[in-house]
Each structure stands twice: as C-alpha cells, then as structure tokens.
Chains A and B, each alone.
Chain A
Amino acid sequence: MDRESGKLEQIVSQFRSKILHVILNSRVPSLHHHCQQQEPVSLSRVRKSDKWFNLVLGDRAAALENLNFSLRNLLDPMIIDIILVHRSSCSSPLDNLYTPSAAVGSPSDETVIERWVVQYDCTRFNATPTGADTSSSYKKTYKKSIILLRSLFAQMRLLPAYRIFRQLSSLSQTYNFDLVYKVSSFSHPFSREEEGAMKEYSFVPVEAFPGRLCVSVTYCTALSDFNLEPLVSLPSNIITDYVGSPTTDPMRSFPSSEKNFHATSFSIRGVRPPSSSPFQRPHSWSSGFYKGLPLMQNQSLAGSPPAYRTSPKPYDVASPQSDMYGNRIRNRLPTLQQATAYDEYQLSPPFSTSASPSPPAYFSGANLVVAHHCSETAPVTIPFQLTGRNSLYLSPNSSDPNRHSLPPLSPRSSKHDASSQESPSGIRSCRKLEAQRAGESPSGLSINYSAQKMVRDSKDDSGQFSGLLSSSGSPRIGFSRSSSRLSFQDDMDDCEFSCPFDVDDIDVSDSPASQNVEGRKASDFTAQSVPVADALEELKSYREMRDLLLSKSGIQVVRKEGM
C-alpha cells in the first residue's frame, strides 16, 4: 500500500509539473520560444522526466523547474494566472525617471485573462479501493491523467488567450502588451465585474485515491477589446559621442566590439525591433526578453512575481536600488519589470545548458541585461580597477558562450538560492502584489529581496565577496548588509572620480615640447602627463644649454649657418 501511495504521490506531483509546463508553454512567449528552439530529439531519446503522461514537451525552462520546486506541497492548490499587461504607448523610461509616481501602474493595466486552478482535492471521502483494485488504481489514474492532459493541451489552443499569445509570440512584431504569469497557491478572487466577463470550464476530475485531481479554468471570453497595437520600433542608432551621464553606473562593463553588440531600441521599451537583434541567444525572445526568462533562483517563490506587474519602475540608470547586482539591473530597465513573474533576468544560457544549476542562469541573465544595456553607449576605456572589480564580482567561469563578455557567477550562489524556494509559495507573491498595488516604492521591495538574498549569498559566497572587498581596497561595491540605496549610490559615486571622463587630463603628446627631438631622451616622450608649463620650462632650459654649447663652439656654428 505504501508503494502504491508513493506512486500516486509521484503521479500527482508530476501531473502538476506537466500541467504547469503545458500552460506556460502555451501562454508565455519566451518559454514557448525556448521550447521551439530546442532541437527535437527522437522519441526514443527523450529524457525520462519529459516522458511523463506520454506527452513530450521538451526541456523545461529553469523557471519551471524552480516553480516546481517551490510548489512541492501537493495539497496546496496551484493557481496559475495568465495576465495581460498593457503598456501605455506614451510612457517611456525617461518619464518614469522624472515621475516616479507614474512608475506605479494602475490595476487596470493588468488583466487576468485566464486563471487555471490545479488541485489535488482530498476533501471528499473516496471509498477505499480493495486490495486487487489498489494495484491497478494508480494505473487507471495515470491513464486518465494522460487523457486529461491531452484535452487540456488541445483546449489551450482554443481559448481566446491563445490568439493573443500567438500575436505576442510573433518575432516580426512587437506590441504594447505583454503576457505574464503568476503562480501561487492562493489568489485574489475576481470582482463581480471581472467574473461577468469570464467563463469557467472544469475538466472532469480524475480519481486518484484518496483524493482526485481537479483542473479548472476561468477565462475571459472577449479579448477583442484589447487593442494589440504593433509598436513602431526606433531604428538602431549608435551614439558615437555619448560619454554617459555623471550618474552612470561605473560598474558596468562594456563588451568588446567583436561581440556584435549595438544599440537597439530595447532600452526604451524592452522590446526588440523587428530588425535583427544583436543577440543571437537561442532562448530569449527579446521582445521583452525579460518575459518568461528563467526563474531567478532567489525569486523562485511560486507565488511571488516581483516584477510581473506592469507598472514601470523608474528608469534609474544611475542609482541602483540595491546592492544586489541583479536587482540593480532590473531596476535600470523598467520594461524588465513587466516581465513574466519571476522570469525577468534569466536570459539564455541556462536553457541550453540545462544540466547546470539554474542560478547561474539568473546571474548570467542579469549580466547579459547589463551587457545589453551597456551596448547602447559607445565603448569607453574603463580603468583597470573597475574591470578588475567586475571580473571578481562575477564568477570567472565563462564557459557558456552565451554569456558573452560577462562571466557567470559561481554555482555556489545558485545552490544557496535553491533553498530560498522553500518559502511558502503564495505569501511572498501576495505581499509583493499588495505592496506594489499600494504604490509602495518598488525599490523598497526589491531591497527586501536583495537584502535577503544578500544575507544568503554572503553566507555561501562570503569567501568571494570578502575577497573582492579586500582586493579592491575600498568598499565601492557596497556589500553592505543594510543594502541601502543611498549608501550604494554614494559608493558608486566615488568610483566616478577615477573614470576616464575627467577632462582635466592633458595629453602631453600634443605639446610643443614633443616636437623637439634633438637632445631629448626617449623616456621624455613617455611623460605625457607632464603639464605644459613644465614642458615649456624644460624647453627653455634646453635652449639655454644649446646656446651655451653654441657659444662654446661659436665659430663652427657661424660657419654652418653661412653655408
């Protein structure tokens, strides 16, 4: 009996995972693209985990793996909200910068267009199967689960939201809408008005003694009211004389030119223009490559979509809101906020290297975000200490080709991050959602998250971080436990004084002294930092010496001049 119940528990657990996979693959564009970009493996070589319910969907994105981990309590319902996020066309990152209040979007910008509820219902008493029936009960449960999943898979293509999903998945167009998701173990009930515009469909429950598997969906019937307008993308333009603002984050690294980065319109809306993207990563769909990105380990709470909401955060290039690298990057790009739940920054690599732990994906994603963001400015020379700091900050492991110039963090942080998923799934999401809806500054929330992560990270990666601090010789990175925005801002400001933007540096190579080659030693030319005044003085002294020499051999000079 225990063996049977173990099998049943496994079926229930895998059923939830599979449903999540099916739903998100059919509703979240980037996850769908990740799935599509995988090379189809022959059915005989499909991974075991993908064979469940005889429905091969391809490797799961890291986000899904993390969600599965977070929703391990089988008795809790798994509620998946598919949210249509509307961006107003007039908003821009600059607007958000100067009007932070505008960063908090109104609830009407987000519409839950589908709510899937998956539950293992044990409340109803089911007759205990007899001994002979017990052994076959889990087989019947499994067979019926297969059928249910088939019908769910087909139905997902018939519901109104599928059309929107297909439109937003289009690589040739970008829209003013996004599809994001939220997974939690509880949800806010719909208002009467919302309920009026929705229909409910419940799949026939599958008997799974001692309970039953129940799946239902509440969906908006009329989505034609949402006017999906294709966005007009700005042409790519490289600003050749851009030197950055004084508040530019000096910590960012600039990819080398051969990395094929160039400015795109991404920075404005977080969407990729129809033209070719600089990124050739196989997994991300940059029309909001923040969407459906692999779940960040530190945000993998099933119920907590730190940035699924639509309201753009302040486009704050200069003032990271936390000392966590990932969060700082997120806040920099407001459109990233509107990503699918957790999926913001985990770009690429992890998908292809699914064997690797997810968290490196998170950080690498963040790094890539930084890289992409940085790619909009012309490359500038960065002092060694900054680059050195960056490379120390990030793991030296750069095996993944998709990480371009920024190496990923060490797996140690990822391992630790996995533990953060054990928190109750829905609680954080609710807290975050409420805070955001209440207009709380997103920085505060992100700081909380970052602070928590910081504490955790520091436990495992203390060696690395402390080493970083000692090598840099100054607390510029600001790994303060307080994670206060201001202190970090101050730290970053300190870095600017050593950046090459200072115009007071004089290029000695242009001074007149450099033109006088006679009698000058080679080392003199290297003194390009010698001020002009000093050079003139030197020149005078040389002239004096020359005159002295000439005076001593004055007859010879006169003779030469007369010729």
Chain B
Amino acid sequence: MNCEVCQLKELEVEHFEIREVLRCILHTIVFHRALGLVRPKDVDLELFEITYVQCGDVELEKKIDEKIDQFISWVEKHPNKKSQICLSFYEVKSKQPSWFTNKTERLYWEQWYVNLNVTQHPKHLSSKLHHTKVVVDPGESATEERSSRRAMVEASLREVLFQIIKFVNEKKDHVPPISEGVIYFPYEITMPSSSDSAFGMDMIKRMLHSGHPTMLS
C-alpha cells in the first residue's frame, strides 16, 4: 500500500496563536479520517473567523490537546525555529515475531506535515524600536499592523484547510477499509522532541516502515 504524504503550506504564527492553529489543522485532518460514526461538532476559532469541524470524540480531543501542549513547550525552549508536526495514520499488521522485532508492525498509509514558523511576539519588536530611539506611534499603526497580520494568518490558515480538503478528495484509494465500531483510524502525532536528532531518527524509522521515501520540500 502506498503511503500518501501531504506537506501543508508553511504558516507564520505567533506564540499565542499556536494552539488555535494546530487544533484547527489537526482536527480537520482527523475529521476527514474519522470515517466511523461521528456527530460532527463545529468549533469557532477565537482569534480568526474560521469554523472548523471536529469529529466529536472527547478522547481524541484530549490527546490532540496533550500533543499541542508538548509542542508549545518545545517551541518555548527553541524559539525562532521552524518546526514541523507530523500526523500519521497507520494500520497495525501482525508479522512473524523475531528476536528484534515485535509481533505487530505499523504500516503507515498517510502522513501529514504541518509546518509552522513561530515568530516573536510583536511586543518584543516594539521594545527594540524604542531602544533605537525611533519615534514610533504605537497607536493606530500598531493596531493596523496587527489586524493586517491577523488577516494574513487567517487567509493562510484558510488556504491550508482548503489544501487538506483538496488532498482528501484527490486521494481516496489508499484509505483502508473502515472497521466496524472504529471511529477513526489509528494515528500518531510526532513532533520535534527535546533533541533534534531523536526527531530525525523518528523520521527515518517511519520511512523504513512506510516503505516510501518521505517527500521533503
């Protein structure tokens, strides 16, 4: 089975926007892969005029929130770094047990890469300008800049969501059959850990399992 990979458009977000943006993207992806019986739940973002859909599973929501918390912690420790979160869907296949391998293996059939560029908070920028003794009007211009920036992020996020929908529509053949009683396919959210090398090892491991070279832009 092929492993379809989707590299989502990079988003430039601020620290306080990470949670909302990630929730929106991850839940949208999972909703399209939660092919079991669901009662969709509309969720309005607070920072943007976007409504996304959750599949309504409380457990899933909790797990995604945990992963987002982990990611935010990582970002705080590694500021000004481009980061990537990988959401993978796999099938569990049993295989011949051996000395070095488990009885089951994961066959990844789809991977989504969420690319984020977390920028500094504007407050830091304004304080720098103050030190350089540049006369800056903090009033309207800051507000306008903030709102235009916010509009750009919103537009980019909307593009990413359309990208997800387009990908989901174009590629359906690789999706495994739906199991009875299962709401969503087994999934895995991977993010950069405290050491970048470990993250790289995770990526290589996944490549070996999927049997398909990962498309890296």
Contacts and interface: CB of A to CB of B under 8 A. Distances in A.
Interface of A: 40, 43, 46, 51, 54-57, 139, 143-144, 146-148, 150-151, 153-155, 157-158, 162-163, 166, 203-204, 206
Contacts of B49: 163
Contact of A154 (B32, B36, B38, B39): B32
Contacts, number: 75
B165 A54 contact: no
Given A143-B178, A146-B178, 20 more contacts: A51-B37, A54-B37, A55-B40, A139-B177, A143-B172, A143-B175, A143-B177, A150-B35, A150-B168, A151-B165, A151-B169, A154-B31, A154-B161, A154-B165, A155-B162, A157-B42, A157-B51, A157-B52, A158-B158, A206-B172
Tell me whether chain B's interface is mostly helix, strand or loop, or mixed: mixed
A143 B52 CA distance: 22
7 contacts: A54-B37, A55-B40, A146-B178, A154-B32, A157-B53, A204-B170, A206-B172
B50 interface: yes
B106 to A, nearest CB: 21
Interface in B20-50: 28, 31-32, 34-40, 42, 49-50
B32 A150 contact: yes
A40 B36 CA distance: 18
Contacts of A54: 35-38, 178
A49 to B, nearest CB: 13
Given A43-B37, A158-B158, A151 B32 contact: yes
B32 A147 contact: yes
Interface in B159-179: 161-162, 164-165, 168-170, 172, 175, 177-178
A158 B162 CA distance: 8
A43 B37 CA distance: 7
A178 to B, nearest CB: 21
Contacts of B28: 154
Contact of A56 (B39, B158, B178): B39
Contacts of B164: 154
B31 A150 contact: yes
Interface in B46-74: 49-53
A167 to B, nearest CB: 11
Contacts of A51: 37
Contacts of A56: 37-40
Nearest to A152: B165
A157 B38 CA distance: 17
Contacts of A153: 40, 53
Q: Which of B32, B49, B161, B172 has the most CB of A within 10 A?
A: B172
Nearest to B57: A43
A147 B38 contact: no
Contact of B35 (A143, A154, A203, A206): A143
A155 B52 CA distance: 9
Main secondary structure of the interface of A (DSSP, over half): helix
A84 B165 CA distance: 26
Nearest to A215: B169
Interface residues of B, number: 28
Nearest to A155: B165
B38 A55 contact: yes
Contacts of B53: 153-154, 157
Given A158-B161, A162-B51, A204-B169, A146 B37 contact: no
Nearest to A51: B37
A169 B210 CA distance: 46
Contacts of B175: 143, 147
B172 A154 contact: no
B39 A40 contact: yes
Contacts of A57: 40
Q: List the 8 closest pairs (A to B, CB-CB), nearest first.
A: A56-B39, A157-B51, A204-B169, A54-B37, A151-B165, A144-B172, A150-B32, A154-B53
A143 B34 CA distance: 11
A265 to B, nearest CB: 29
Contact of A147 (B50, B51, B168): B168
A43 B39 contact: yes
Nearest to B165: A151
A206 B49 CA distance: 31
A450 B170 CA distance: 48
Contacts of B178: 54, 143, 146
Contacts of A46: 37, 39
A203 B32 CA distance: 14
Given A157-B53, A158-B50, A158-B158, A151 B168 contact: yes
B6 to A, nearest CB: 13
A148 B40 CA distance: 14
Given A147-B35, A147-B168, A154 B52 contact: yes
B45 to A, nearest CB: 11
Contacts of B158: 158
Contacts of A148: 169
A527 B49 CA distance: 73
Contacts of A163: 49
A29 B169 CA distance: 28
B142 to A, nearest CB: 25
